[in-house]
Structures are given as C-alpha cells and as structure tokens.
A and B are shown apart, each in its own frame.
Chain A
C-alpha cells in the first residue's frame, strides 16, 4: 500500500517549491506557473485524504475529489484572467517583470 505520510510529504514539497518560485522568479508567467504548483499540492492532499476516508461500498464519500474538480476549474479561470492581466501589463510596460508594474507604488 502507498504510505500516506509520503504522499502528504510530496504535497508539502510541491507547495514549498511553488512558494519558492513565486518568491524568487521575476517573470510573471513563471510566477503564475508556481501558483499552479501550489494549487496542485493542495489537490494532491485532498485526493490523498479522500482516499484515507473513502466511505463504504453503499455510500462512497467523494467530497475531496469533488473539491479538487472545483479547484481545477477555479485554477483555469485564474489562469485565463491572469493571462489577460499579463497581456495588458505587457502592452503598457513592454515587460513581464513584476518590478516594472510600479505605477501604484508609493
């Protein structure tokens, strides 16, 4: 059987890699990709815990999996809007560097 500790550990590692990507990279596209990594880490944890409490044959419990579907949908929406913002930024600033978007900065 797959050890659940290791699945959750993988989820933690994936999340931290996403955090590092957002903190360190200066390219907005890669920062969005890192956000996706973090969302996927959460999804992995949801699926793993749903597998830990799967219900019975008569009444299977699929709450975690349904929630993952929700997260996937919201992630798709987020990427679509994020790309729109990115294109608008690139049109105005000619760069995908978030440091360039400093018009509202004090």
Chain B
C-alpha cells in the first residue's frame, strides 16, 4: 500500500467518524458542528488525493468556514436544547427507518463495485488555472446563474430573519 492510499483510508475513517459524531451527538449541538468540520476538512483531503485541488480549497473555505459558522450562530442564537428519546411508538418507527437506511447503504456498497483503475491525471489537473478556464469559458452562463441564486438566497435570508416586515 503506497502513501496516498494510506492517506485516503485515514481520511475516510475521519470522514465517517465525523459524520457519526454529527448525527449521534444528542447532548451538544456545538460538538456536532465541530464533528461536521472534521468531516468537511477530511473530505477536502480526499479531494486533493483525487486531483481536485481547487475544490478542496473551496471545500475548506465554504464548508469548514462559512457554513459551520452559520450553524454555530444558529445554535448560539437560540441556545442548545437537550433532545430526549421520542415516545414508545415513535422510537420503533425511528429504529425501523435506521434499519432501512442501513440496508440501502449495504445495497449501494455491494452494487457499486468493479470500477476500473484510475488513469493517470493530465498535467495540472484540477488546479486553479484549469478550473478557472473551465468556469469562464464553457460554464460562464452557469456561473452567472449561480450568482443569481446566491443573490436570491441573500435577499430571502434577510427577509426571513427580519423581525417584522414593514
């Protein structure tokens, strides 16, 4: 096993650990958000190993930074609340849903195998230059549309978070 493969398995372990920490932490939502940071940063490491250098930078900036800070703001604005176990019948339903999700996961993992070996990446694959050229030549319309989505989201968030509309 060479070094990148070893790194991949390390990061994969961290990703799963962070995800489990996010969904299983019923006491402390801040700790759940911190587990989410672990997941996001480890995913960025895997992106680098898969040749997506630029995306890894964005992953850390947007997910590890901005989005988790938003979550933390939400937690701190209305305080942490303890989550009790749901009443009897609901508990059964939730256990059944977890079982179904695990079965789906097992099915996916079993079905999605047999991919070929990864080929050698082109020179400079996934670096800022190539991603930038792709964004502003083939996908320039997409970039403009996404900027509209962001603008709409900003306005929408402001309207929703405002105390009273006058």
* Chain A residues engaging chain B, CB cutoff 8 angstroms: 1-10, 12-21, 23-27, 29-30, 32-34, 36-37, 40, 43-44, 47-48, 50-52, 54-57, 60, 62, 65-66, 68-70, 72-81, 83-88, 90-91, 95-97
Contact = CB atoms under 8 A, between A and B. Distances in A.
Contact of A83 (B49, B123, B157): B157
Interface in B39-68: 39-40, 43, 46-47, 49-52, 54-55, 58-59, 62-63, 66-67
B102 to A, nearest CB: 7
Nearest to A84: B160
B67 A69 contact: no
Contact of B32 (A33, A51, A83): A33
Contacts of B124: 60
Contact of A76 (B52, B66, B104): B66
Contacts, number: 238
B118 A4 contact: yes
A52 B52 contact: no
A68 to B, nearest CB: 5
Contacts of A18: 19, 23
A55 B126 CA distance: 11
Q: Which of B47, B50, B114, B134 has the most CB of A within 10 A?
A: B50
Interface string B64-88: 0011001101110110010100100
A66 B163 CA distance: 37
Contacts of A91: 163
The interface residues of chain B, by DSSP majority, are classed as: helix
A30 B55 contact: no
A84 B157 contact: yes
A30 B32 contact: yes
Contacts of A88: 160-161
Given A13-B109, A34-B22, A37-B19, A86 B74 contact: yes
A12 B109 contact: yes
Contacts of A1: 4-5, 117-118
A54 B121 contact: yes
